[in-house]
Amino acid sequence: MNLKQIKEIQAKHSYPSVTITLPTNRTAPDNEKDVIRLKNLVQEAVTRLESEFGKRETINIVENIQRLADEVDHQHNLDGLVIFANNEFSASYKLPFRLPERASIEDNFVTRDLVYALNRSPLYLLTVLSENGTRLFVGHKDILDEVNDHGFPFSLENVIASASPGQDISHVRDQIVTDHMKEIGDALIEAQKQTPAPIVVVGVDRNIGHFRDGARNSDDIMLYINSGLSNENEHELAKNIWPQIKDALHVERQKIFEEISSAKGNNLFVGGLDEVWQACIDGRVETLIVEEDLHIAANVSEDGRNLTELEGSFEHTENTYEDIVDEMIEKVLETSGRVKFVDNGSLKEMNPTHGIAAITRY
């Protein structure tokens, strides 16, 4: 799943919309327990649907949820599972990151956890430069999942073989490789639009040099790793490079606080809950900053401008939200803003009561 897919799912508004998320396990015997836990979440969602909206009114949604749950092959689980279902749309996705165990019913699908997973450390894009086949992976800690999209994997073998024998083959080869790296750099730009994560480039010195010369985004790479590790299998590759990537991701995550400091100096920072909400609905948010575990149940005023926090159980209406933070995230993404997650408690000085803040466009 990538950012484009999340935006498409966010656009599907229908009440009720059910979102089921579950952390899953890749190996036995732990993945055998996932069957029972998913069954319990499905039953929880079905019970709530039928009691709140009626059996006849929700029969299509219930059938879709049960069908999707039955279709899950738990022998090939990743780290997370999500099921979406309403009267217009239903789908399930296996994901390479952990998700909370939750069943939610809202007027749209709850995507906060997916956005968090796409923005949080330690998610990264890894490209392995090799003339035999440059590959792309989405990395989560020391686990790599290959991406066969945006032109990846790229291969130079046929291109170099077709070079004119009457030319200086060394010069021609260098130019071909440099041009090839420009193509790879452009593909990485497209990949990053769909998975907004920092990029790591691995390769031998020669290929990294060609990449720096050819790719127009070469200065935006978070980390270069000069190594012949490209010949290793992905498990060994991830194990060997993860310590360097972990350190680089920590440095990258701290940059948001430099942006906050600059925004304060330019009067482009808001920290109060109502002020952040208003900036989100007005489309003024360039970057929304959220503490990792922040969830706020809230009621929106009739004019849509103010929030009242809700505690404990409450009556669900069109103006109440189990998590208003998810609504803010969706509105920011709809207006091409960014969402960054930070450590719990790190926004306390800027917003003593809520772990949320925003950098605005104006």
Tens of pLDDT along 188-207?
A: 999 988 887 899 999 999 99
**pTM, to two decimals:** 0.68
| Rounded distance between C-alpha atoms, residue 123 and residue 9, angstroms | 21
pLDDT at 210: 93
Domain extent listing, the chain: 3-120, 124-253, 267-360
Which residues make Cβ contacts (< 8 Å) with residue 302, sequence separation at least 6? 319
Give 89-123 pLDDT, tens digit per residue: 999 999 877 888 999 999 999 988 887 777 665 68
Q: Is residue 289 within 8 Å of 356, Cβ to Cβ? A: yes
CATH number of 124-253: 3.30.420.60
Contact call for residues 305 and 274 (beta carbons, < 8 A) = yes
Output the CA–CA distances (angstroms, integers) from residue 110 to 25, 94, 218, 249, in the order listed: 22, 16, 35, 27
**Helices 169-194 and 3-10, axial angle in degrees (round to 10):** 30
First to last CA, the chain: 32
If pLDDT is split at 50, 70 and 90, which confidence band does 174 have?
confident
CA distance 211 to 216: 9
pLDDT at 234: 82
Quote the DSSP letter at residue 5. Answer: H
Compute the average pLDDT of residues 169-190.
86
Task: Dump pLDDT digits (tens) for 24-72.
Answer: 998 999 999 999 999 999 999 999 999 999 999 999 999 999 999 999 9
Average pLDDT estimate for 131-153: 88
What average pLDDT score do residues 153-179 get? 69
Asked whether the beta carbons of 333 and 6 are under 8 A apart, the reply is yes
Q: 183 with 151: CB under 8 angstroms? A: yes
Closest to 340 (Cα-Cα) out of 254, 243, 248, 247? 254
Angle (CA) 81-84-87 rounded to 5° is: 160
Superfamily assignment of 267-360 in CATH?
A: Ribosomal protein L30/S12 (3.30.1330.30)
CATH code for residues 3-120: 3.30.960.10
The single residue listed with the structure tokens 């929304």 is 288
Amino acid, res. 23: P
pLDDT computed for residue 161 by the predictor:
57
Under the banding of pLDDT at 50, 70 and 90, the label for residue 7 is confident
* Rounded (10°) CA dihedral 317, 320, 322, 328: 140
Amino acid at 200: V
Helix (H, G, I), strand (E, B) or coil at 263: helix
Average pLDDT, the chain: 89
Mean pLDDT of 229-239: 78
80 and 37 Cβ atoms separated by less than 8 Å = no
Q: Any idea which of 84-88, 129-133, 143-147, 307-311 has the lowest mean pLDDT?
A: 129-133
Dihedral angle computed from the Cα positions of residues 144, 145, 151 and 155, in that order, rounded to the nearest 10 degrees: 50
Contacts of 15 (CB under 8 A, 6+ apart): 86, 106, 107, 318
pLDDT reported for residue 158: 61
Q: Checking DSSP bridges between strand 17-23 and strand 102-106, what pairing results, if any?
A: antiparallel
- The residue ranking higher by pLDDT, 235 or 359, is 359
Task: Cite the beta strand spans of the chain per DSSP E.
Answer: 17-23, 80-85, 90-95, 102-106, 123-128, 135-140, 143-146, 199-203, 223-226, 269-270, 285-291, 298-300, 307-309, 320-321, 338-342, 356-360
> What strands lie across the sheet with 356-360, from one edge to the other?
269-270, 356-360, 285-291, 338-342
Share of the chain above pLDDT 90, in %: 60
Residue 169 has pLDDT above 60, yes or no: no
DSSP state of 85: E
Number of neighbours of residue 295 by Cβ within 10 angstroms: 11
